[in-house]
Structures are given as C-alpha cells and as structure tokens.
C-alpha cells in the first residue's frame, strides 16, 4: 500500500496539475504529437494527474505503443482510485493478464459524446477492442458492448456473457476527431476469464517450511531392571505327626465292608424275578378254581 501511495504522489508531483478547464465535462483538445505521429496517448493523459496510474500501467506494459500505432481509437480510462481498487483486488496479477485487461479498454473505433448520443437507445452496440487482435480472446471477450442511457450517458460491458464488472461513462476527457477519443469511465470493464484464466509458466515459488523448535538436551536415566512378579504362595496345612505301628494299641481296626460285586446284584434280581413269576402263576390258578 505504501508503494502505491508513493507512486501516486510521485506521479502527482511530476505531472503538471490541471486547471479548471481540465475538470470540465467538455472534451479538451489533444496536444499535437511530435515526430509526425497522429497522437500520443501518454501525452494526452499527462495533462490529467487523476489518470496517472492508468498512464503508468499502459506505459510499462507497452500498450501505449499499440494505441499510438492506430489511426482510429477510443481509450476508456478509469481514474487512480479505480486502478487502486484493481491492485488491491489482484495483488499478484500476472503481466499477461494486466496487458489483456488494459487492451479491453482500447476500442478500435471512434466514440465521442455526439456519436454516443446518436446510438440506438437501449440497444447495445458491439465494438472490437485491442484485446481481440491479440488472439487470446475467448467467447467474445475481445468485444465491448456500448449501451447509451439517458442524458448522454452510456454503459460499457463485455460482450461475453457473465461479465464480472461493468462501467459507466463519466465524461469525455479529450477528443481529436476522428483519430482518438479519451473517455473517463467509473471502473474497469472485467470480462470473464481475463483475470482468472490460468497462465502458462512456472507457478509461485514454494514457501519455506518453518524451522522446527530446538529441543533442550535431557539426561536419560538408566532403565531399571525388571522386577519379577510376586509369586503367589499357597498355604500348606501342617502335616500330621507320624506314628510308629509298634507303638499303637493291639486292637485291630475294623475292616471296611467289601463293596457288593456285580455277580451278587444279578443273583438278587433273578430271585425277585422268580418270585414275581410264582405269584402270577398262583393267581391264575386261584382264578380258575
């Protein structure tokens, strides 16, 4: 921001200040250029410090040379505040995009106040711009639509659909019929894709990664030896006192009853079966008696 203000201040000091006639809405006659040329656009803009930034841009990008090489041309000029708006909006605008944008504001036809008033009311008139001659214009972005309004005004817009920014006519700055006309407009005319289209060439330089924070050296304690897990102790009941068989009494311990064998069980079951058969036979005999 400080560099732009310094540039604006420098341009205001170097360029001659304009008088009351420069602020009038009537067109001022353009000075006769030297060297046999029909006109010099930077000399015309040099009379008006409010267009110093636009004059600086067309001079640094050499668009002024293309303008001066034409026989008939109309230059649409925004003032310093509009240029500052563009720089704020596109701080890293590529040079190619800036050249294309400036070329949109150079109409390859002559328009002054009288010719604009004679245009069909409410109907846009399409004119060719310098951008169309570069071969980079797409979808009618190289054409400009001029629509007259009430009281001698006009609206300037891109002929391509989806224009980003339009502008209105503020005044006629200078005119040399029918070679050059300089018209002040309210803002830049921004066709779609001119500022946002990708450009060939290397991209922005990668930003260096921030340095890692330095770590303070720390003393490392030795790793302690692993502690074994505590062994779970199982309580053991006290053992019975051992006795000598010779010291025991002479009485013998009663012997355990022997478990019934499988053969004894079979004998018992057979006896009960036989008893059941005998009872059934006797019942039958008594039943017949």
Going 202 to 103 to 23 to 121, the CA torsion angle's sign is negative
* pLDDT value of position 122: 85
Query: How many percent of the chain have pLDDT more than 90?
Result: 45
Per-residue pLDDT of 9-53, as tens digits, reads: 434 433 333 333 333 334 444 444 444 458 999 999 999 999 999
* CA pair distance 200, 135, nearest whole angstrom: 15
pLDDT single digits (tens) 49-86: 999 999 999 999 999 999 999 999 999 999 999 999 88
| pLDDT in the model for residue 274 | 56
User: And the tokens for 29?
Assistant: 């006659």
What pLDDT is attached to residue 248?
46
Output the pLDDT for position 247.
47
pTM above 0.85, yes or no: no
- The secondary structure of 231-277 as a DSSP string is PPPPP-PPPPPP--GGGS-SPPPPPPPPPPPHHHHHHHHHHHHHHHH
Measured distance CA(30)–CA(18) in Å, rounded: 14
Average pLDDT over residues 133-144: 92
Q: Which domains does the chain have, with CATH numbers?
A: 41-185 (2.30.180.10)
- Tell me: the pLDDT tens digits for 192-237? 988 876 666 544 334 334 444 454 555 545 555 665 555 555 454 5
What is the predicted pLDDT for the residue at 206?
A: 40
pLDDT at position 151 is 87
Q: Is pLDDT above 70 for 179?
A: yes
Question: 178: cis peptide before it, omega within 30°?
Answer: yes
- Quick one: what percent of the chain has pLDDT higher than 70? 55
């Amino acid at each position: 921001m400080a560099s732009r203000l310094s540039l604006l201040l420098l341009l205001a000091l170097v360029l001659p200040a304009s008088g009351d006639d420069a602020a009038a809405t009537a067109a001022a006659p353009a000075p006769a250029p030297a060297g046999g040329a029909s006109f010099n656009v930077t000399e015309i803009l040099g009379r008006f410090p409010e267009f110093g930034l636009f004059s600086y841009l067309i001079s640094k990008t050499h668009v002024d040379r293309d303008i001066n090489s034409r026989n008939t041309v109309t230059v649409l000029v925004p003032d310093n505040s509009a240029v500052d708006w563009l720089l704020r909006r596109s701080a890293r605008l590529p040079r190619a995009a800036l050249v294309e944008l400036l070329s949109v504001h150079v109409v390859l036809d002559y328009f002054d106040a009288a010719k604009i008033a004679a245009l069909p009311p409410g109907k846009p008139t399409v004119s060719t711009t310098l951008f169309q001659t570069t071969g980079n214009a797409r979808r009618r972005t190289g054409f400009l639509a001029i629509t007259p309004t009430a009281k001698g005004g006009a609206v300037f817009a891109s002929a391509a659909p989806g224009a980003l920014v339009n502008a209105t006519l503020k005044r006629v700055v200078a005119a040399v019929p029918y070679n050059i006309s300089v018209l002040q407009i309210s803002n830049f005319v921004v066709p779609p894709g001119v500022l946002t289209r990708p450009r060939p060439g290397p991209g922005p330089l990668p930003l260096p990664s921030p340095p890692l924070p330095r770590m303070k050296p720390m003393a490392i304690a030795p790793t302690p030896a692993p502690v074994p897990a505590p062994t779970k102790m199982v309580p053991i009941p006290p053992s019975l006192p051992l006795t000598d068989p010779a010291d025991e009494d002479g009485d013998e311990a009663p012997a355990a009853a022997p478990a019934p064998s499988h053969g004894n069980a079979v004998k018992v079951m057979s006896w009960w079966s036989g008893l059941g058969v005998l009872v059934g036979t006797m019942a039958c005999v008594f039943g017949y008696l």
